[in-house]
Structure 1
Amino acid sequence: MSFVRFENVGKIYKSGDVEVRALHGVTFEIEKGEVCVVVGQSGAGKTTLLNILGGMDVLTEGNVILDGRDISSLSTKQMATYRRLDIGFVFQFYNLIPNLTALENVEIASQLSKNPLNSEKVIAAVGLKDRMNNFPAQLSGGEQQRVAIARALAKNPKLLLCDEPTGALDYETGKSILKLLQEACKKSGMTVVIITHNSALTAMADRVVKIKNGTVASVKLNDNVVSVEEIEW
């Protein structure tokens, strides 16, 4: 059985009498340990899809199954536990707590988890061993994003969700962040979903899901996964 399954998922947002259909008939699967890149233009429905998978939004129709569990039927309380224990999030903006050091930002996340990784080891693994006692304001954008990734990894989640993780970074820094995500997936066997509008990033993925106008335009398996260093955009 697939690790992630979307089955005919639809999402309608209502504002007064107006209904906006953000997703309709979305069906695809992701296997455990894959890097899956979800690609599409702004407004295609990528972030809505990610928010439903991450338990931050509720679908209108269909089912979402993660690791054999139908998350679309969870109560509000169960959903909060699901977000806390099963999901790691990396966003375009780092959302670090400014008056905590890099290490403390990571430790906060690991305290939420049943089976966390060692915070200092994770900080070292993302290349910030010498910066762990710095505050976010003392770190570059790329370093802050590395802290955000370390924070997500320290939870030891079943699934790592990344929403335009390089969007606020320059080209070289963005590449180093994507390389870090690719390597983290390989080393730990973690399943990683990256949302992007940049179709060049599909070369780094095991699976590519193209979203267009709120539905799945195509799902492709990549027989020739390329290391991030070799990708140009």
Structure 2
Amino acid sequence: MAAFVELKGVKKIYRMGEVVIKAVDNMNFSIEKGEFVVIVGPSGAGKTTVLNILGGMDKATEGQVLVDGVDVAGFDNRRMTKYRREDIGFVFQFYNLVQNLTALENVELAIQICRDHLDAREILAEVGLKDRMDNFPSQLSGGEQQRVSIARALAKNPKLLLCDEPTGALDYQTGKAILKLLQDTCRERGMTVVVITHNSALTPMADRVIKIKNGQVSSMSVNENPTPVEGIEW
């Protein structure tokens, strides 16, 4: 059976005049459905570029990007927009919330354009914000704002939840709580979750660890017994 996500010979080349930059250079890896995946590597290794290619925010220069059996690398702009809208949930380091909308309105805004979405109130309650739905982002802590952005991504009911340094702007304890939420979401919903980080201490919590260096996969390993976030220190 084919993997749920597969990158085959993916390259991303940026040209600036005479200068050629290989952000991703012949990247190959696969991810199974329902896995919690950590992609780890130093700054400039190509992690975010890979995430953006997976999420349809950037196009591979060459290679195949197979998601659920479909090569999204070949999509035109219209199909790519539909893919981003319906199949992908994004969580960023900075929460990207609309400041003059409440937590509930932020989530509702995101699901207006989705076919198969979940109930915004239920998802906010699930991420621990049952009593904060009517608060504006400025009335919420950093951790609460990140929970809203996770709820916003989850409510779309995406095939893939992509998280770019989701704890980067948070303190240690809050960051741990957010990672636990992501790990629990993966387990309880059978959702495929990909987290990119430069913090290699997080790798024991993953089902699959993909290490990236200089735009290539330097190693890939599977944890038979992932560690719950509570058991990890860094």
Cα distance in 2 for residues equivalent to 1:110 and 1:129? 18
Give 1:54's aligned amino acid.
G
Give the letter aligned to residue 80 of structure 1. Answer: T
Q: Residue type of the partner of 1:219?
A: M
Which residue number corresponds to residue 78 of structure 2? 77
Measured in 2, the distance between the counterparts of 1:160 and 1:53 equals 10
Residue 112 (structure 1) shift? 1.7
- Residue 129 in structure 1 maps to residue 130 in structure 2: yes
Number of residue pairs aligned between Structure 1 and Structure 2: 233
- Cα distance in 1 between the residues matched to 2:92 and 2:182: 13
Tell me the equivalent position of 2:20.
Answer: 19
Greater mean alpha carbon deviation, residues 109-118 or residues 34-43: 109-118
CA–CA separation in structure 1 for the residues paired with 2:24 and 2:116: 34
| Cα displacement string for residues 68-108 of structure 1 (whole angstroms, at most 9, x for unaligned residues) | 00000000111000000000000000000000000000111
Aligned to 2:107: 106
Displacement of 1:63 after TM fit? 0.6
Q: How many angstroms does 1:116 deviate by? A: 0.7
Residues 170-208 of structure 1 show CA distances to partners (whole Å, capped at 9, x for unaligned) of: 000000000000001111111000000000111110000
Deviations 1:16-58 (A, max 9, x none): 1111011111101000000010000000000000000000011
- TM-score (normalised: structure 1): 0.99
Aligned residue in 1 for 2:49: 48
State the match for 1:115 in structure 2: 116
Structure 1: any 5+ residue segments left out of the alignment?
none
In structure 2, the residue matched to 1:168 is 169
Q: TM-score, normalised to structure 2's length?
A: 0.99
Q: Following superposition, which runs of at least 4 residues in structure 1 exceed 6 angstroms of deviation?
A: none
Corresponding position of 1:93: 94
Query: What's the CA shift for 1:128?
Result: 0.5
The answer for the alignment partner of 1:178 in structure 2 is: 179
Q: What is the deviation of 1:111?
A: 1.4
SS in 2 for 1:129: coil
Partner of 2:200: 199
Deviates more, 1:112-121 or 1:174-183: 112-121
Partner in structure 2 of residue 10 of structure 1: 11
CA RMSD across the alignment: 0.5
Q: CA deviation at 1:113?
A: 1.1
Distance 2:113 2:207 in 1: 30
TM-aligned CA deviation for residue 121 of structure 1: 0.5
Q: Secondary structure of 2:131's partner?
A: helix
Q: Quick one: distance in 2 between partners of 1:109 and 1:33?
A: 23
SS where residue 12 of structure 1 aligns? strand
Partners in 1 of 2:105 and 2:205 — Cα distance?
Answer: 31
Residue 66 of structure 2 corresponds to which residue in structure 1?
65
Give, in angstroms, the shift of residue 61 of structure 1: 1.1
Work out the percentage of aligned pairs sharing the same amino acid. 66
How many angstroms apart in 1 are the aligned matches of 2:45 and 2:14?
Answer: 14
